[in-house]
Amino acid sequence: MNKKVQLQDLGRKDYKVTWDYQEELFKKIVDIKIQNRKDDAVLETPNYFLYVEHPHVYTLGKSGDMSNLLLSEKQLEVKGATFYKINRGGDITYHGPGQIVGYPILDLENFFTDIHKYLRLLEEAIILTLSEYGLQSERSEGETGVWLGVGTPFARKICAMGVRASRWVTMHGFALNVNADLGYFDNIIPCGIKGKAVTSMHVELNKQVDEEEVKSKIVKHFQKLFEAEII
């Protein structure tokens, strides 16, 4: 079992370009697994953790409802945003500057074969990171992601999650609002959940937050929770 995870920070990159790159890495891992089964071989499968920041973009998961996008094609253009229907779980979300997006592309057979556990550990890495900034976050029952103020009239989502898994290989991941412009969320019904707000670390802390510092904290907790070796 290969628990080494290659960390790559792609900087700011177009959503479609990054999606294509994810698919390339995903296919590479799956192809090795197929070859191993065919030849009764034991070639190691690699694991990756991609960090990226996207220009303004809305993405709709495979089970999502198109009506949760509240903009026409022309309005998207005016806002300088793009839109993609994609192959992850979940409904609609927004990505943009000031948001940390993480895409773990893992062969879960190197770690454990449990998608539920995988999602809960991703959430836990974010919860532990936020706690280092004095932000008490938690899960909301039946709603993937990380929230503040659960059980109060002021429940607000700070981190969205949506993944795809096939042959125990994962792609897509999480999007944590750090210094994000929350105005862009007004153009959608985030994750298809009506009546719940979205927030960002800089709003909760009333200051700009060092994104590189947040990234390093997430990786630290990810490494410990997954018993991984980051390379």
Phi, psi angle pair for 139, to nearest 5°: -85, 155
Is residue 180 annotated as involved in ligand binding? no
Taking the C-alpha atoms of residue 63 and residue 60, their distance in angstroms, rounded to an integer, is: 8
Q: Which of 101, 104, 108, 138 is nearest to 123 (CA)?
A: 138
The answer to whether 36 and 44 are in contact (CB under 8 A) is no
191 labelled catalytic: yes
Is residue 91 annotated as involved in ligand binding? yes
Q: Which of 96, 75, 82, 105 is nearest to 160 (CA)?
A: 96
Is residue 64 annotated as involved in ligand binding? no
Taking the C-alpha atoms of residue 53 and residue 100, their distance in angstroms, rounded to an integer, is: 6
Is residue 142 annotated as involved in ligand binding? no
Task: Out of 48-52, 112-116, 153-157, pick the least confident.
Answer: 153-157
* Predicted local distance difference test score (pLDDT) of residue 144: 86
| pTM (global) more than 0.85 | yes
Task: Out of 23-27, 97-101, 160-164, pick the least confident.
Answer: 160-164
Query: pLDDT tens across 110-125, in order?
Result: 999 999 999 999 999 9
The answer to whether 96 and 186 are in contact (CB under 8 A) is no
Is residue 173 annotated as involved in ligand binding? yes
Is residue 14 annotated as involved in ligand binding? no
Task: Out of 108, 127, 191, 201, pick the active-site residue.
Answer: 191
Domains and CATH numbers, the chain: 4-230 (3.30.930.10)
Query: pLDDT tens across 170-220, in order?
Result: 999 999 999 999 999 988 876 555 557 899 999 999 999 999 999 999 999
